[in-house]
């Protein structure tokens, strides 16, 4: 028996700790010895009932409260749909990334990408390059299934039906996974954050099945051993690498859940102490004072906000309290989310878009970002965040309880309308006026200039008119299925911005990093009044060329005319090729009239787009492009492609007439 769990607390260096951990695991792997897990109080028939009552994620305390929760669930979602989803899980039928239902057959192969048919080898996760797989295969397909989001879907069905087949399926899935995914072996032990998300889902899903006759002490002890093996893996393989990022936050969230579950043990207390210290630091390292997320991905903003909320809610059910500054930053994150969410409940596709949250109450359906906003309303008693009717209220119900849900329902309806607003620290600027929604990205590349989840999208934008998206960010597609497409989708060529001499805005270093961020964007004007909105910014990405060029973009919206003018200036002294793209949403049809006039149509709406330049050496044309609605999906679309080739300084003009 080897005591891996003691390694973490004694070593400060991530690399040294990871190296020792791997040597110890290899010793157990090749000799078939058992790992000694941290000790915990075993669940017996004598203390089982007490455990059920005190489980930290339990969301009801009596049969009357359970019945009331059932009634609330029926108001949130169709009971038939809940059962239908759970029955598909019983039959091993899954819809991964909403790409269509797949029948996994009698047994799940956890190492297989069922879309491509490729199967990864089962060896120690650091002994093989699991990312070196054939084109068209995506390791995230395996990871998504192994996150155990299906646990909550089964749990909801059990709560409303009492059908013991659902907890039986949940426990069988965990046992099957554990049997077929030996500790540190195979595709599902490659990424620490994925291990963390799985741990969180198993522990929270268990709260639905606490009163099942199948929830025995023996079964709980088996699950807790699985949880502790996950925990020591996370401790010794945290991906912080000397900096604080969203991956580290999710790992800390998982260790928080472990600490709460084993709060009476020394190991649990150690995890809680670590989490409480780290979370305060993470809030300052990841969140700007204006509430925007430093990694420059709106989807990662949402995931990190969820992680912070989970930690705050469940830690504060103990005696712990977060600082006033932590709470202020968290509320400001909700404020930013309030403005990100458009009237049609969509969000701008800024940065990596991975489509999956930590705890998924919308399993098998499109994510409802408004539900997290509702949680913010309940958490901070702020009716401004009670913006959308018919939002999913599961987070309020299961995290804060029925009383908080009723308090939320009693809040006055929100009459706050999203307005034009700038978030200067994050570099996000939003124009909202009479059906027009314009999002401008003017921040750094992302992650402190390191790259992903941010993209090469400086001064890129999305334009929505009357709830129809006309100019769209093409999205992410996939991290691993096609490495060339991965970098294309995060490049400047796949955004609504400009680039010079076919030189990238920032050079990539692999699939997630950049070599150095030279953009240093600077906003020199942001003016909002009753007649117009003006944004002017410049960046220095091309000051590194042999003939340095400073790039300047202006957005000028004339409200009475419903006219958006974009003016791009390129200040230099030599000849340069300037390219600029305007990607259309796939539902938008486009026709070209003359040399540089276009009509964009979507439904009954039409926009006239007129392009011009300070030089005659200028072209405008329609070209083929790609669009990714969500992770793993790709479809054809069109883009308007502008180019000029002449001695600088030069200017490009684009006008969108919205009426």
Q: Tens digits of per-residue pLDDT, 594-651?
A: 999 999 999 999 999 999 999 999 999 999 999 999 898 999 999 999 999 999 999 9
Side-chain-side CA neighbours of 611 within 13 Å: the count stands at: 26
Q: Residue 355: which pLDDT band, with cuts at 50, 70 and 90?
A: low
Q: What is the mean pLDDT of residues 465-493?
A: 95
Q: What is the mean pLDDT of residues 180-201?
A: 95
Return the ∠ at Cα 82 (arms to 256 and 97), rounded to 5°.
Answer: 65
Concatenating the DSSP letter of every residue in 490-534 gives TSGGGSSSEEETTB-SS-EETTTEES------EEEEEEE-SSEEE
Contact of 330 with 396, CB cutoff 8 Å: no
Instruction: Identify the H or E element spanning 161.
Output: helix 150-161
- Structure token digits, residue 289: 């004072």
Q: Give me the phi and psi of 532, to 5 degrees please.
A: -155, 160
Is the confidence at residue 11, as pLDDT, over 70?
no
Q: What is the mean pLDDT of residues 62-89?
A: 92
304 versus 363: which is more confidently predicted? 304
pLDDT at position 21: 87
25 versus 195: which is more confidently predicted? 195
Q: Residue 118: which pLDDT band, with cuts at 50, 70 and 90?
A: very high
Identify the weakest region by mean pLDDT among 25-29, 124-128, 458-462, 630-634.
Answer: 25-29
pLDDT at position 241: 52
Give the residue from 183, 184, 104, 189 showing the smallest Cα distance to 146: 189
Give the residue from 404, 282, 234, 431 showing the smallest Cα distance to 348: 431
CA distance 32 to 175: 19
| DSSP code for 185 | B
Q: Across the strands, what pairs with 93?
A: 103
Query: Residue 408, SS3?
Result: helix
Q: Across the strands, what pairs with 654?
A: 566, 611
CA distance 177 to 171: 10
Q: What is the pLDDT of residues 300-319, one digit of tens each?
A: 999 999 999 999 999 999 98
In percent, how much of the chain has pLDDT > 70? 96
CA distance 276 to 476: 33
Q: Residue 331: which pLDDT band, with cuts at 50, 70 and 90?
A: very high
Question: What is the strand order of the sheet 498-500 is part of?
Answer: 498-500, 575-583, 635-647, 618-627
Query: Residue 657, SS3?
Result: strand
Query: Residue 598, SS3?
Result: strand
- Structure token digits, residue 152: 């909550």
Contact of 641 with 569, CB cutoff 8 Å: no
- Structure token digits, residue 284: 């300052």
CA distance 467 to 445: 28
Give the residue from 30, 191, 176, 175 showing the smallest Cα distance to 125: 191
Q: What is the mean pLDDT of residues 42-50?
A: 93
Q: What is the pLDDT of residues 210-223, one digit of tens each?
A: 999 999 999 999 99
pLDDT at position 1: 38
Q: Which residues 6+ apart lie within 8 Å of 491 measured at CB?
A: 455, 456, 504, 505, 508
Is the confidence at residue 10, as pLDDT, over 60?
no
- Domain 421-657 fold is Beta-galactosidase; Chain A, domain 5 (2.70.98)
Q: What is the mean pLDDT of residues 83-99?
A: 92
CA distance 298 to 249: 16
Identify the weakest region by mean pLDDT among 169-178, 230-239, 470-479.
Answer: 230-239
Query: Residue 465, SS3?
Result: strand
Q: How far is C-alpha 6 from the chain's CA centre?
A: 32
Q: What is the mean pLDDT of residues 275-298?
A: 94
Q: Quickly count: other Cβ atoms within 10 Å of residue 317's Cβ.
A: 14
Q: Quickly count: other Cβ atoms within 10 Å of residue 449's Cβ.
A: 16
pLDDT at position 239: 67
pLDDT at position 9: 46
Is the confidence at residue 654, as pLDDT, over 60?
yes
Give the residue from 221, 116, 236 showing the smallest Cα distance to 178: 221
- Among all chains, which residue has been given the structure tokens 């991906």? 239
CA distance 125 to 57: 31
359, burial (CB in 10 Å: exposed 0-12, middle 13-18, buried 19+): buried
pLDDT at position 240: 61
End-to-end CA distance of the chain: 74
Q: What is the mean pLDDT of residues 369-377?
A: 88
**pLDDT, the chain, mean:** 92
- Tell me which long-range contacts 98-103 makes (C-beta under 8 A, separation of at least 24): 98/355, 98/364, 98/365, 98/366, 98/630, 99/632, 99/633
pLDDT at position 2: 44
Counting DSSP H helices and E strands in the chain, the numbers are: 18, 23
Query: Residue 472, SS3?
Result: coil
Q: Residue 33: which pLDDT band, with cuts at 50, 70 and 90?
A: confident
Contact of 492 with 578, CB cutoff 8 Å: no
Return the ∠ at Cα 43 (arms to 42 and 44), rounded to 5°.
Answer: 110
Q: What is the pLDDT of residues 412-463, one digit of tens each?
A: 876 666 789 999 999 999 999 989 999 999 999 877 777 778 899 999 999 9
pLDDT at position 309: 96
Q: What is the pLDDT of residues 527-582, one digit of tens each?
A: 999 999 999 999 999 999 999 999 999 999 999 999 999 999 999 999 999 999 99
- Structure token digits, residue 599: 């009509």
């Amino acid at each position: 028996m080897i005591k891996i769990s003691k390694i973490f607390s004694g070593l400060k260096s991530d690399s040294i700790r990871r190296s020792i951990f791997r040597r110890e695991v290899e010793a157990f792997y090749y000799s078939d010895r058992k790992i000694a897990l941290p000790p915990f109080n075993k669940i017996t028939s004598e203390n089982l009932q007490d455990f059920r009552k005190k489980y930290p994620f339990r969301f009801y305390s009596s049969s009357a409260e359970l019945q009331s929760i059932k009634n609330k669930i029926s108001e949130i979602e169709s009971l038939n749909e809940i059962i239908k989803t759970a029955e598909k899980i019983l039959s091993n039928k899954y819809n991964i990334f909403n790409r269509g239902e797949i029948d996994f057959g009698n047994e799940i192969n956890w190492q297989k990408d069922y879309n491509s048919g490729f199967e990864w080898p089962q060896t120690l996760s650091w002994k093989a390059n699991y990312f070196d797989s054939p084109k068209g295969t995506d390791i995230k397909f395996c990871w998504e299934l192994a996150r155990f989001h299906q646990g909550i879907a089964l749990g909801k069905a059990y709560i409303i039906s009492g059908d013991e087949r659902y907890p039986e399926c949940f426990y069988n899935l965990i046992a099957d996974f554990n049997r077929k995914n030996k500790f540190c072996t195979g595709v599902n032990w490659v990424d620490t954050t994925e291990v963390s998300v799985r741990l969180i889902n198993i522990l929270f899903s268990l709260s639905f099945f606490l009163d099942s006759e199948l929830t025995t002490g023996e079964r709980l002890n088996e699950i807790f051993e699985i949880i502790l093996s996950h925990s020591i893996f996370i401790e010794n393989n945290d991906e912080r690498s000397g900096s604080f990022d969203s991956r580290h936050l999710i790992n800390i969230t998982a260790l928080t859940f472990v600490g709460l579950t084993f709060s009476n043990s020394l190991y649990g207390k150690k995890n809680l102490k670590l989490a409480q210290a780290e979370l305060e630091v993470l809030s300052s390292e990841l969140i700007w004072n204006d509430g925007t997320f430093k990694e420059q991905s709106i989807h990662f903003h949402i995931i990190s906000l969820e992680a912070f909320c989970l930690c705050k809610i469940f830690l504060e059910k103990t005696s712990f309290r977060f600082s006033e500054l932590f709470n202020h930053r968290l509320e400001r994150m909700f404020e930013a989310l309030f403005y990100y969410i458009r009237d049609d409940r969509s969000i701008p596709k800024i940065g990596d878009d991975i489509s999956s949250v930590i705890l998924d109450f919308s399993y098998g359906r499109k994510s409802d970002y408004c539900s997290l906003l509702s949680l913010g309303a309940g958490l901070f008693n702020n009716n401004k965040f009670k913006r959308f009717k018919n939002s999913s209220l599961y987070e309020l119900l299961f995290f804060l309880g029925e009383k908080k849900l009723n308090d939320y329902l009693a809040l006055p309806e929100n009459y706050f309308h999203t307005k034009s607003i700038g978030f200067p620290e994050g570099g996000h600027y939003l124009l909202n006026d009479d059906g027009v929604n314009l999002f401008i990205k003017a921040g750094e590349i992302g992650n402190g200039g390191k790259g992903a989840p941010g993209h090469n999208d400086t001064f890129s934008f999305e334009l929505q008119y009357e709830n129809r998206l006309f100019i769209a960010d093409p999205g992410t597609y996939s991290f691993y299925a096609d490495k060339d497409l991965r970098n294309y989708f995060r490049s400047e060529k796949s955004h609504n911005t400009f680039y010079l001499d076919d030189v990238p805005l920032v050079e990539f270093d692999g699939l997630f990093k950049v070599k150095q961020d030279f953009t240093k964007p600077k906003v020199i004007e942001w003016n909002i009044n009753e007649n117009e909105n003006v944004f002017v910014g410049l960046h220095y990405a091309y000051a590194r060329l042999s003939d340095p060029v400073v790039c300047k973009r202006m957005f000028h919206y004339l409200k009475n005319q419903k006219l958006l003018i974009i003016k791009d200036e390129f200040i230099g002294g030599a000849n340069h090729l300037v390219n600029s793209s305007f990607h259309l949403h796939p539902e938008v049809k486009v026709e070209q009239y003359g040399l540089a006039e276009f009509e964009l149509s979507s439904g009954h709406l039409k926009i006239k787009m007129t392009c011009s330049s300070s030089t005659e050496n200028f072209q405008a044309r329609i070209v083929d492009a790609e669009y990714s609605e969500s992770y793993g999906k790709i479809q054809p679309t069109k883009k308007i492609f502008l180019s000029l080739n002449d001695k600088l300084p030069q200017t490009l003009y684009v006008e969108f007439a919205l009426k």
